[in-house]
Structure formats: C-alpha cells, structure tokens
Structure 1
Amino acid sequence: MIEIHPTAKLSHLADIEDSVRGSRIVVGAHSVIDSFVKVKPAGGSGDLVVGEHVVINAGCVLYTGNGIHIGNYVAIAANCTFAPVNHAYADRSRLIREQGFLPSKGGIVIEDDVWIGANCVLLDGAVLRRGCVVGAGSIVRGELLAYTVYAGQPLAAVGERR
C-alpha cells in the first residue's frame, strides 16, 4: 500500500514499487522524493515511513526489508542506500539466494533533524538519533548518539560546531 500525502512532491522519474507482502510505503506532508529514487519492497515485510519535510535526493535506493522509519526535517543527499536486511549465507551446500534472510536487527530508524551526506550506506540496525550529521561516504550499522557528527567514527558533538 502506497500513501503519498497530497502536499508531498514525488518526481515522475522516481520509482516506488508497491509491496506484494503488505508493507506500507508512506510519504508525509511537504516531503520531496527526487528523480531516480528507487523504493523496493524486498527482504522482509517492514514498512517505509517517511515523515514530514523530508528530502530524499536523486539516486537513493531504499529497500524496505525490516523497515525504515524516517522522522521529520531529515535531509538525505544523493546516492544513499538504505538496506535494512541481511542475507543468510551460512549453508555452503546451498546458493546464498536460496537461503533467505537473517532475523531483523531492528530495521533503520532516523529521528528528526538529521542530515545524511552523499553516498552513505545505512544497514539493518542503524539508529540515527535526533540532530545527527552523517558525513559523505559513511557506512552506518549501529546507533549514532543525538547531535553527533559521524564520518566513520564520531567526530564532535553538533553543538560544538554551531
């Protein structure tokens, strides 16, 4: 089920696939989904919930997997990948693609007022607390504390740069 708020702006060049597993894809008020953003329900039955005043820039790919929850006033730069899912691979007698998926690590949670730089990858279990700044090219797989700047490792509290 896809629910786009009437005030949200969705590029005609974005590609949002509807789920066959019942996942909800929700885009909140005044949010912008840019050209060449791909939303693919794959790897689980989690929902994608995009809050209000969120901008997802060109070239981003979001797999719904175990769920993605994006708060309000979040800025996501170009070419980011959100992958809240993990393939099973332990059985060497079977192809990886036949082994299904591992249990969820909690999906991806992004709180309000977060900025994610270009070319970032967020993995299952990533939690970005309020006010985080994630530097371009970072890989996030755990929790980032509120108001921290992250570029592979925490650099400073956001309050120190303001």
Structure 2
Amino acid sequence: MHIISNLARISHLADLEDSIKGSQLIVEDEVSIDSFVKIKFTGGLGDVRIGRGTVINSGVVIYSGNGVNIGEDVAIAANCTFAAVNHEFQRKDVTIKMQRFQPSRGGILIENDVWIGANCVILDGAIIHQGCVVGAGSLVRSELAPYSINIGNPLRRIGWRR
C-alpha cells in the first residue's frame, strides 16, 4: 500500500513497486522522486518512509528489507543504493539464494538535513544522524555522527595508493 502526498512530485518513470506482504511506502509533502528511481519491497517486512522536502535523484534503488526511514529535507544524489537487508551465506550445503536473509540489523535510518553524495551504498543497520554529509562513493554500514563529514576513499578501496 502506498500513502503518497498530493504535494509530492514523482516522475512517471519512477518504479514504486507494491508490497505483497503488507509493507507501506509513505511519501510526505514536497518530496521529489526523479526518473529511474526504484523502490522494491523485498527481504523483510519493513516500511519505506520518505520525509517532507526530501529529493531523490535518478538511479537510486531502495530495497525495503527491514525498513528504510528517510527524514526531512534529505538530498540523495544519483545512483545510490539503500539495502536494508543482508543475505545469509554461512551454509555450504545450500545455495545463498535458498538461505534467504540474515536477521535484521535495524533497517536504515536517515535523520533530517542529510546530504548523501552520488554512488553511495547504505546497508542494513546504518544510522546517519542529522546534518551529516556522506561523500560520493561511500559505503555506510554503521552509525555516523551528527553534522559530520564522511568522505569515502574509492582509490584506497580498490587497492591504489596515494
């Protein structure tokens, strides 16, 4: 079920799937969802809430999993992925796909007035506090302090040195 404000602007090229398990998509006033945004309900029973004044740019994918709560006035740049779920993979006698999902780490919480740069990946259990800036290309899987600047270093992650 979708609860979408009449004051939200959603591109006709966005793909907002329906949940087959009863999870909700809640989109508040003045939210802008650009073309080629995908919201997919999978991997859990969590809702997806997008707070007032938030802007989500092209190519963003949100997997509902254990819940995604995005606060007010959040800016999300292009091609970010929100994955509020993790696959189980411990057993060797069963394929990863058949093992389904790990227990929840709490979903994803993005507080108000946050800027998430392009190509970021936000994982289950991430908490990004108010006023935080997440630099382009970052991976977030834990808690980021309020009003902090968190800049990933993509060169170091692929083995290059400065």
Name the TM tier (shorter chain): over 0.9
User: Which structure 2 residues correspond to residues 63-142 of structure 1 after superposition, within 5 A?
Assistant: 63-142=63-142
Tell me which residue corresponds to 2:60.
60
Structure 2 unaligned regions, length at least 5 = 154-162
Q: Residue 47 of structure 2 contacts residue 66 of structure 2 at CA under 8 Å; is this kept in 1? A: yes
Q: Deviations over 1:30-68 (max 9, x none)?
A: 000000000000100100000000000000000000000
Tell me which residue corresponds to 1:145.
145
Q: 1-side partners of 2:56 and 2:72: how far apart?
A: 12
The secondary structure found in structure 2 opposite 1:97 is helix
Q: 1-side partners of 2:63 and 2:95: how far apart?
A: 21
Q: Deviations over 1:109-132 (max 9, x none)?
A: 000000000000000000000000
- Which residue identity does 1:13 align to in structure 2? L
Question: How far did 1:152 drift?
Answer: 2.9
Following TM superposition, the consecutive aligned residue runs of length 4 or more in structure 1 with deviations greater than 2 angstroms are none
Aligned residues: 153
TM-score relative to the length of structure 1: 0.93
Question: How far did 1:151 drift?
Answer: 1.1
Q: 2-side partners of 1:127 and 1:52: how far apart?
A: 19
Q: Residue 56 of structure 2 contacts residue 75 of structure 2 at CA under 8 Å; is this kept in 1? A: yes
Q: 1-side partners of 2:67 and 2:110: how far apart?
A: 11
TM-score relative to the length of structure 2: 0.93
Q: 1-side partners of 2:40 and 2:2: how far apart?
A: 12
- Which residue identity does 2:152 align to in structure 1? G
Identity of aligned pairs, percent?
Answer: 57
Please provide the CA RMSD for this pair. 0.8
